[in-house]
Amino acid sequence: MLEIGAGCGYAAAVLAELAQEVITIERMPELADLARANLIKADHPDVRVICADGSLGCPVEAPFDAIAVAAGAPAPPDQLKQQLNIGGRLVVPVGSSSRHQELLRITRLSDTDYETISAGEVTFVPLVGAQGWPDEGH
């Protein structure tokens, strides 16, 4: 499982209870350090925290059965979709505004086909990065 947006590490700790292996990516070094420390305290030292542009995923560890994005993107990042196993799912908030999105569940059906289902309207912080929103002080 790949999580984009580690924050304090809480969601990664929950995911570690559900998935065999969890990698979480955080673009802000101070939050990545906080997530690492909190995951150790929560008895999940095996969760890998990577400080990088989460909009690009983690191609060296792909493919993934599941990818969860905790930040709103202007469009589903192709890099993340391509890092799914066949049958894998990507959950990502997507919208034309960096502050208002629709939560999408995207399932990879084949090398080129995906099924997208909406789970409703949501509001997340913006996904900043190469396949997200520009960093304008977010």
| Strand duo 48-51 + 23-26: pairing | parallel
Whether 37 and 56 have beta carbons less than 8 Å apart is answered as no
Residue 138 pLDDT level (bands cut at 50, 70, 90): very low
Q: Specify the amino acid at residue 27.
A: R
Note whether 66 and 12 are within 8 A (CB).
Answer: no
* Averaged pLDDT for residues 1-13: 97
Name the token pair of 43: 């008895």
Q: What is the pLDDT of residues 52-106, one digit of tens each?
A: 999 999 999 999 999 999 999 999 999 999 999 999 999 999 998 767 899 999 9
- A 10 A CB-CB count for 121 gives 11
Q: Name the token pair of 2.
A: 């790949």
**Which CATH superfamily groups domain 2-122?**
Vaccinia Virus protein VP39 (3.40.50.150)
Domain spans of the chain, in order of start: 2-122
> Angle, nearest 10°, between helix axes 10-18 and 29-41?
50
The pLDDT value given to residue 137: 57
